Amino acid sequence: MRIVSNSIEGRDIAYQMHPNVNLRKYEKTGGLVIESGDGIYVTDNNGKRYIEGMAGLWSVALGFGEKRLAEVAKAQMEKLPYYHTFSYKTHGPSIDLAELLISIAPVPMSKVHFTSSGSEANDLACKMVWYRSNALGNKDKKKIIGRIKGYHGVTIAAASITGLPRNHESFDLPLDRMFHTSCPSYVHFGKDGESEADFTARILNDLEELILKEGPETIAAFWGEPVMGAGGVLVPPAGYWEGVQAILKKYDILLVADEVICGFGRTGKMFACETYNIKPDVLIVSKQISSSYMPLSALIMNDAFYQPIADESDRIGVFGHGFTASGHPVATAVGLENLKIIQERDLVGNAARLEEKFLGRLAELAKHPLAHSSRGVGLIGALEIKPWGDAKPGDAAAAVSAALEEEGVISRNIGEALCFCPPLIITAEQIDDMFDAVGRALDKVE
């Protein structure tokens, strides 16, 4: 029999297998136990308070104590805690939210399909791309192009489109229909002496070469986050999205924009597609759709995407896909209320107004001897830390992130990037508090 320490940390180590950790390391160190949250702050089980500089997982737009979401969830639980959207049944909350999403979508869209996570939504979008190609008689048009450092989730297709080795290794991924083109991060992939414009032209050329090598008639879709999040907050260079879209148009390739992180205000517009003038065929949203108070995601698709799929379901007799929780009434009711609050309080405008302050403070921190550079847009940004001496890749940012946690700010270190993506309700003073602490953490580590 195992001896289990009766502390909460001990029981966690004993019984829970965590995502996205070194499991052996976790068995020794355990994790930080977060007990409660309020506004941009969370508090651990020892009573220590932290600024949640990552809004949880890039997601808690409204902060951690929004009573209206709790009230709506309770009311919906009491009225209709569960119903499905299968087999010719439906319900009000899913209809209301679908209607709102269509009304605010960045380009004319036709239909919304609900799922519960970003991975599910991307996985389903991939299945739908294949289903649609079959519907159109394009049986060989199935390949998908993602990008190096792109992140689209962890289910089999979503992880395959993802361009991060850690999500492939030992999982026997990616699927062999998935390809990865160059990452648009000039900081990481620009060559010595290469201008940003030359870099952009080079990676656009890489995309076109890949399409021509594989055969344009075999490529169904291109997948991209307008700003890459989990790859380390990688902001595209000027002209990148215009160039990508021109190539996709030339070769009749669909564009799936994954706004799981960017959607609902993060970049200072309701959608990052507006920030970068992206016109997707399918838009994937999650996270800030419900401030992650309930698991919820959605595919928002245009009519040209939807119609062949509807025809194919008619030919087969059914669209043979659906999750028990698709359009869950409590999740969609919470999502609807969450988006109403984002609109009422103009939190998209808050992100736009605070962008200068947020990026300005990051740029100041980039002058620190341990920092290399900074980047970002709206209220998402990163400080690139200089690797020192014989430190292993990622160690430098990990050390700063740990020191910052001691200073009372939760950040996320990805490679050498120290990432920030605070709740959209953050104020200018709170941005100062957060980045003052980063300055102290850098001094401590130095």
Alpha-carbon distance values, 341 to 41, 75, 96, 97, 335 (Å): 19, 17, 15, 13, 10
Task: Give the shortest CB-85-to-ligand PLP separation in angstroms.
Answer: 19
Number of residues that bind ligand PLP (CB under 6 A): 15
Instruction: Please list every residue from 245 through 274 that binds ligand PLP, using CB under 6 A.
Output: 258, 260-261
* Closest-CA residue to 114 (of 378, 377, 290): 290
Does residue 292 belong to the site contacting ligand PLP (CB under 6 A)?
no
Q: Which stretch binds ligand PLP (CB under 6 A): 37-45, 117-125, 137-145, 401-409?
A: 117-125
Least distance (Å) from ligand PLP to the CB of residue 19? 9
CA 155/CA 127 separation, integer angstroms = 12
**Residue choice 115, 119, 181, 185 for contact with ligand PLP (CB under 6 A):** 119
384-405 burial, b at 16+ Cβ within 10 Å, e below that, comes to bbebeeeeeeebbbbbbbebbb
- Taking the complex as a whole, the smallest distance from the CB of residue 150 to ligand PLP amounts, in Å, to 8
Length of the chain: 446
Q: How far is the CB of 117 from ligand PLP (least distance, A)?
A: 3
Contacting ligand PLP within 213-242 (CB under 6 A):
225, 229-230
Binding of ligand PLP by 184 (CB under 6 A): no
Q: Closest Cα to residue 309, out of 177, 95, 88, 136?
A: 136
CB 56 within 8 A of CB 424: no
Is the Cβ of residue 150 or residue 308 nearer to ligand PLP in the bound state? 150
**If DSSP codes are grouped into helix, strand and coil, which group holds residue 302?**
coil
Q: Is 153 in the site for ligand PLP (CB under 6 A)?
A: yes
Among 76, 94, 115, 117, contact with ligand PLP (rule: CB under 6 A): 117
Minimum Å distance from CB 307 to ligand PLP? 26
288 binds ligand PLP (CB under 6 A): no
Spatial distance between the Cα atoms of 425 and 412, rounded to a whole number of angstroms: 19
Among 122, 185, 291, 332, contact with ligand PLP (rule: CB under 6 A): 122
Closer to ligand PLP by Cβ: residue 292 or 401? 292
Rounded alpha-carbon distances, angstroms, from residue 381 to 189, 261, 358, 414, 417: 18, 12, 8, 12, 9
* CA 260 centroid distance within chain: 4
Nearer to ligand PLP, 261 or 418 (CB): 261
Which residue from 151, 186, 358, 420 is in contact with ligand PLP, where contact means CB under 6 A? 151
Minimum Å gap between C-beta 204 and ligand PLP is: 21
Of 222, 232, 246, whose CA–CA distance to 58 is shortest? Answer: 232
Q: Which stretch binds ligand PLP (CB under 6 A): 71-79, 115-123, 180-188, 200-208?
A: 115-123
Residue 317-356 contact track with ligand PLP, rule CB under 6 A, x = bound: ----------------------------------------
Determine whether 295 is exposed, middle or buried from the number of CB atoms within 10 Å of its CB (0-12, 13-18, 19+): middle
Q: Which is nearer to ligand PLP, 121 or 403 (CB)?
A: 121
Q: How far is the CB of 183 from ligand PLP (least distance, A)?
A: 14
Kindly state the smallest distance separating residue 224's Cβ from ligand PLP, in Å.
Answer: 9
DSSP 391: P
Q: How far is CA 163 from the centre of its chain?
A: 14
Question: Using CB under 6 A, which of 167, 200, 267, 286 touches ligand PLP?
Answer: 286
Other C-beta atoms closer than 10 Å to the C-beta of 140 total 11
- The residue with its CB nearest to ligand PLP is 118
Give me 235's structure tokens.
């902001």
Please list the residues that pair with 257 across neighbouring strands: 224, 283
Sites of contact with ligand PLP (CB under 6 A): 57, 117-119, 122, 151-153, 225, 229-230, 258, 260-261, 286
